[in-house]
Structure 1
Amino acid sequence: MAKLDISVPDLTLPDGNKIPLIGYGLGTAWYKSDSNAPKDQKLIEATKVALKVGYRHLDGAEVYNTEEELGDAIKQSQVPREQLFVTTKVIVNIEDIPAAIDKSLKKLGLDYVDLYLIHSPFFAKGDKKALQEKWAQLEQIAAAGKAKSIGVSNFLKPHLDAILETAKVRPAINQIEFHPYLQHGDLLAYHKNKDIRVAAYAPLTPLIRAKGGPIDGILDSLAKKYAVSPGEILLRWSIDQDVLPITTSSSEQRLSDYLRVFTFKLTPKEVEEISQVGNTHHYRAFWNDVFGADDRS
């Protein structure tokens, strides 16, 4: 396989730190339900392949139970630490965030992470003060140098409003499920207004979990036009809206192909067409126990 000579551009976070504009995720397909399960050697190898192909942004979380695999892959890859952007998230041990980050760093074999996220706001059960307290603890983690940037995941406007009331440091990023079938109304515009960046997990949902939806034909047509895959069109749709996609695969060819998203751009009209047609259909892959069937927030 010919290795594409493509350098991944960065997105600048509100705190001035830079994050690579595509991430390799160790959740979803790689998630381990048992924290005591043996190490997943396939995941270690797949992550090393991602690093070999050119990914430098690695997205993990304590709840995935794969932080040890991520740490092993980093160590075995011998890619210099300063060239990597490592994300992890806290939710299992949300009651004691200082202990949680130490536990994660130990599993990762690192002195710091580049980005530390509160994995979801739902632990607070609508309690604004609980969200504010946990955000203050994240600020302490950043002040101690254990995380270069701090942010959130799965937060909606009310949750963000709550922490912004008392925050000394604004969230650098909010990582949300985002794809044409779940665009969250005016949430992107809200983030822009508040100077918070957005990352997308499950960006390929229309192809992987919701195949047969109304944008299939558009994706196929644009894939032919740009000589790429429909998946690359979906990733580019996110990037063209300044949304950073997190994706995964165990296929070296596919991971390499995904980096072709930095060789072309969709036109504003094409981005808008995907958005408009996508909005005619609703599909949420995660948190269906929290949201109603027709809730698009």
Structure 2
Amino acid sequence: MTLYDKFYLNDGTTLPHVGLGTVHIQGGKGIHQIHSALDVGYRVLDTATGYNNEGMVGEAVRSSFIPREQLYVSDKLPGLAHQYDKAIALIQESLYRTGLDYFDKYLIHWPNPKEELYVEAWQALVNAQKYGLIKTIGVSNFLPEHLDNIIEATGITPATNQIERHPYFNNKDLIAENDKRGILSEAWSPFGREINDTLTNATIKEIAKKYDRSPAQVILNWDNQHHVFPVVRSASQKHQYDNFHYLDFELAQEDMDKIDALDQGEKGRIEGQNPNEYEEFI
């Protein structure tokens, strides 16, 4: 297996080995938590309009000691703005909220296929990239048919697809479909969140003990060796440090297989969020 210290995107951009999720991180306390992560070495900050923290993320970037060009800010378009004009306006509004001149990466958060507007939203991202508002464009929670529809309509393939991915729902078929199209898979909530906490799983804890690593480091390593870019939220500097430093060991194939075997299929999804059914408008 291969460990990746960086991930190459189809538009020539590179990502480091891990990103910092910012959901539920807000206010002045959130700024200190992001600065803590930057001290550890994180450079990718993942936010969304629906997280209600774009202003905090922008302030953390502007007040950081890290030069702007070394940071990678990723934001997401909510379902309420899939219509073309609304999407363009909201991308601009999000930039005003952050106080930034551009987003390094911008995703459509959910396809909301019942609304039949995600192709229109994708065209807005394509044009916003041409206008210089966004450097890299991608999607989140898109299934193969959604990907093919936007690629056919615009001729532009997303650079990344951020999807649900953790040991109880490994989403391997969608990862393979992303790979087939040259799209990097990103994992949101790679530990399964508190309601589906894989960090306490006996198999993962046993593997962690074998390598003298934390369960979190094992899961992030498992993602990396499957060529998946993990986005992990952590507020404490200790956890931020542990999550960042997961590249100094390699899981044997037998241990990769054990983690793969924990998959529960559709029952393993967090809150049953199937992209063909789940809709997000905030």
Give the TM-score normalised by structure 2.
0.89
Determine whether 1:262 maps to 2:252. Answer: no
Residue identity opposite 1:43 in structure 2: G
1:259 CA displacement = 1.6
Aligned-pair CA distance for 1:147: 0.8
Task: Tell whether 2:105 aligns with 1:119.
Answer: no
1:132 pairs with 2:128: no
Q: Can you list the C-alpha shifts for 1:175-217, whole angstroms capped at 9, x where unaligned?
A: 0110121123511111111111000001011x7322489x822
How far residue 289 of structure 1 moved from its aligned partner, in angstroms, is 8.0
1:143 match: 130
The alignment status of 1:154 with 2:141, answered yes or no, reads yes
Q: Is the 8 A contact 1:177 1:286 kept in 2?
A: no
Higher relative contact order (CA 8 A, sep 6+): 2
Quote how far apart the aligned CAs of 1:286 are. 4.3
> Which ranges of structure 1 fall in alignment gaps of 5 or more residues?
1-7, 31-38, 293-297
Q: Map residues 17-28 of structure 1 onto 2, 5 A cutoff.
A: 17-27=13-23
SS in 2 for 1:278: coil
- Give the deviation of 1:278 after TM superposition: 2.6
Distance 1:220 1:231 in 2: 9
SS of residue in 2 equivalent to 1:277: coil
- Structure 1 residues 105 and 280 mapped into 2: Cα distance closer, same or farther (>3 Å)? closer
Counterpart position of 1:47 = 34
Amino acid at match of 1:176: I
Q: How far apart, CA to CA, are the structure 1 residues paired with 2:61 and 2:156?
A: 29
1:188 and 2:179 correspond:
no
Cα 1:58/1:290, change in 2 over 3 Å? closer
Unaligned runs of 5+ in 2: 278-282
Partner of 2:91: 101
Secondary structure of the structure 1 residue equivalent to 2:170:
coil
Partner in structure 2 of residue 73 of structure 1 = 60
Distance 1:278 1:51, change over 3 A: same
Residues 19, 43 of structure 2: 8 Å contact kept: yes
Q: Deviations over 1:145-167 (max 9, x none)?
A: 11111000011112112112123
Q: 1:126: Cα distance to partner? A: 6.0
Equivalent residues of 1:20, 1:85 under 8 A apart: no
For 2:223, which of 238, 242, 248 is the aligned residue?
238
Distance 1:280 1:107, change over 3 A: closer
Could you tell me which residue of structure 1 aligns to residue 280 of structure 2?
Answer: none
Verify the 8 A CA contact 2:163 2:187 in the aligned structure 1: yes
Residue equivalent to 1:210? 196
Please give the secondary structure, in 2, of the residue aligned with 1:24: strand
1:78–1:133 distance in 2 versus 1, CA, 3 Å: same
- Equivalent position SS for 1:117: strand
Provide the rounded CA distance (Å) in 2 between the counterparts of 1:110 and 1:229: 36
Distance 1:269 1:53, change over 3 A: same
How much does 1:240 deviate? 0.9
Query: Pick from 186, 190, 205: which aligns with 1:199?
Result: 186
Pick from 230, 234, 240: which aligns with 1:249?
A: 234
Amino acid at match of 1:283: G
SS in 1 for 2:247: helix
1:87 aligns with 2:74: yes
Q: Secondary structure of 2:63's partner?
A: helix
